[in-house]
Amino acid sequence: MGIRLTIAALGATALTLSAAPAHAAGAGITDEVTMTLGKNGTLHVVEKISGAPGELKRTFITRTRYDDGNDRVYQISNVKGGTLAGDVLTVKGDGTVEYDVKGAVTTSGGVEELRWFAVNGWSRQVAKATVKVNGPGQVQNLSCFAGELTSAIGCTSASMDHSATQADFEQENIAPGQALTVVIGYPKGSSSGTPILEKRFSLASAFTLNTVTGGALAGLLVLLLGGLALLYWTRGRDARVAGHAQGPVDPVQNGHFSPPDGVRPGQIGTLVDEQADVVDVTATIVDLAVRGYLRIDEQPRQTYDAPDWMLVRLPNAPVNALLPYERALYDAIFDGRDAVLLSQLSGSFAAHLGKVRDALYADVVRQGWFARRPDTERTRWTTIGVVLIAVGVLATAGLAWFTTYGLLGLAVIIAGGALAVGGQYMPAKTAKGSAALAHTMGFRQYLFSGELGDVPEQHRVELFSRYLPYAVIFDGVEHWSRVVASVTGNGHQSDNLYWYHGPAEWDLSKFAGSMRTFTTTTSGAISATRQFRTL
């Protein structure tokens, strides 16, 4: 008896196990699809859904790869029986849903081919799907594929009726994410349907170089860069000085030192390179010392000590006679003090440097050498160049995304970059400024010629000292410091100059090295960023 019960139990278990796959296979919905291709190339689809436990969603395939440069797009419209949001169709359960598809027809050879993913993207498994297709002509060929979108596996069955006007397809167990794709061929001209193609974005296609884009790029570059050249020709060139002759430099007039055209070192520096930089300020400090407004005292130091100098304000100096930029510098150095170490200016002086530069720029305009401040002119054109670059970037992005003319946007970027860089050369000297520059270059040539001329001995210390600040501007400190150190007082070597004092056991033989170190240290102390001039 126990044996019979055991056998019966095993049989029941086997029956249950054999029934499980059948139940699993039957789970899912049934989708009966009827498709009709009209003469206008629009595919009308009717789907009858049954076995749905509740709300269902279907994600349509509306875009596939067509070729290397294009995607094929399928447009779905006129949805009834469901709600379409983007590519997702929502239906409430069993019922019928209708919609139209455009772009499902293409011509291949002598055949007009209809291709559509009749069943795909349902949120539940489709246990059984049947598809009936009616077209505007006789079926020339047909095929179907089931599984993944790229699958080459045929569906369960594909056939046509005896009149070859209706095609029938069938497939079982289509999992979510899988598709049943049907392909039917009709005679060419059966409908007016064409594929809908959209160009796929790629850098290669966006920046296509061919006869049209290359010619347009070259033409735009010529136009833009030619316009920049014309702009510089009309606005950025220094005015010519008609009939100006650069005469010889006479360093001494009426027994006194005479700089070129009465120009101060800081003014020359701004005139030459159109920038008021720290070298101009350093030269002005030396000039104020030479002219008796302050004295430079080199401090004694041990072997490993950093060099330092004391700047001493001299009493009874006619500070009211200083030019505005010189007075701004003088006040910034002493700031109510009678003496200050150069090392104490490091870091704190940078806040005053902007005021000194502003005064220098205003001075060269006041002198009539520039019609507008060089810094303002540079900023204006450089800003326009940067804006043009930004416009070019936006134009390049837009042209590259929507067309194949992205190269044209690059031309605008190049022009903007040229203007941003060229803006540094836009400040233009007036005729008066050009004349002063010509005389200045003659003076520079005199300084480096080594020909000191017939200078009376009693004027040499003053003359050579007064020329030293100009040598700082022209990057000739080493050379001219040696000239200053060679002067004699009453036939004897001097230990100090009236404006520069050294520590004990210091004499003029060390002046060249001291002066070179002083100018370098001063430039570093008054600004975090040193700027050098190259002529």
Tens-digit pLDDT profile for residues 413-465: 888 888 888 888 888 888 888 888 888 887 787 777 766 556 666 666 777 78
- Predicted confidence (pLDDT) at residue 5 exceeds the cutoff of 70: no
pLDDT digits (tens, 9 = 90+) for 209-247: 788 778 878 888 888 888 878 877 776 666 655 444 444
Distance CA 470, CA 263 (A): 10
In the DSSP assignment, the letter for residue 392 is: H
What is the pLDDT at residue 239? 65
Mean pLDDT for the chain overall: 81
- What angle, 0 to 180 degrees and rounded to 10, lies between the N-to-C axes of helices 477-485 and 431-449? 60
Distance CA 501, CA 420 (A): 47
Closest of 32, 35, 51 to residue 43, by C-alpha: 35
What is the pLDDT at residue 493? 52
Residue type, 251: P
pLDDT (average), residues 394-416: 86
Q: Which residues contact residue 522 at a Cβ distance below 8 angstroms, ignoring those fewer than 6 apart?
A: 282, 285, 342
DSSP reduced 3-state for 75: strand
Query: What token pair was written down for 468?
Result: 């030293």
- Predicted confidence (pLDDT) at residue 131 exceeds the cutoff of 90: yes
Residue type, 331: D
Closest of 179, 37, 53, 51 to residue 113, by C-alpha: 37
Q: Point out which residues pair with 95 in neighbouring strands.
A: 49
Distance CA 487, CA 495 (A): 11
Q: pLDDT band at residue 487, thresholds of 50, 70 and 90?
A: low
Distance CA 397, CA 399 (A): 6
Distance CA 395, CA 216 (A): 15
DSSP reduced 3-state for 334: helix
Distance CA 338, CA 322 (A): 18
Distance CA 308, CA 130 (A): 98
pLDDT (average), residues 313-318: 92
What is the pLDDT at residue 250? 54
For the chain, the straight-line distance linking the first and the last C-alpha, in angstroms and rounded, comes to 119
Residue type, 362: A
**What Å distances lie between residue 368 and 113, 269, 394, 438, 452, CA to CA?**
81, 16, 41, 15, 31
What is the pLDDT at residue 459? 64
Q: Which helix (H) or strand (E) holds 381?
A: helix 374-402
Query: Percent of the chain scored above 90 by pLDDT?
Result: 35
Q: Which residues contact residue 420 at a Cβ distance below 8 angstroms, ignoring those fewer than 6 apart?
A: 381, 382, 385, 386, 388, 389
DSSP reduced 3-state for 371: coil
- Predicted confidence (pLDDT) at residue 151 exceeds the cutoff of 60: yes
List the Cα angle 36/38/39 in 5-degree steps: 155
What is the pLDDT at residue 243? 46
- Predicted confidence (pLDDT) at residue 35 exceeds the cutoff of 90: yes
494 Cα distance to chain centroid: 59
DSSP reduced 3-state for 505: coil
- Predicted confidence (pLDDT) at residue 302 exceeds the cutoff of 80: no
Closest of 105, 330, 315, 283 to residue 196, by C-alpha: 105
Distance CA 340, CA 333 (A): 8
pLDDT (average), residues 75-87: 93
What is the pLDDT at residue 232? 75
Radius of gyration over alpha carbons of the chain, in Å? 45
Distance CA 182, CA 197 (A): 20
Distance CA 251, CA 455 (A): 8
- The DSSP code sequence of 237-303 is SPPP-TT---PPP-SEETTEE--GGG--HHHHHHHHHS---HHHHHHHHHHHHHTTSEEEEEPP--T
- Domains in the chain (CATH in brackets) are 29-200 (2.60.40), 245-373+428-531 (no CATH)
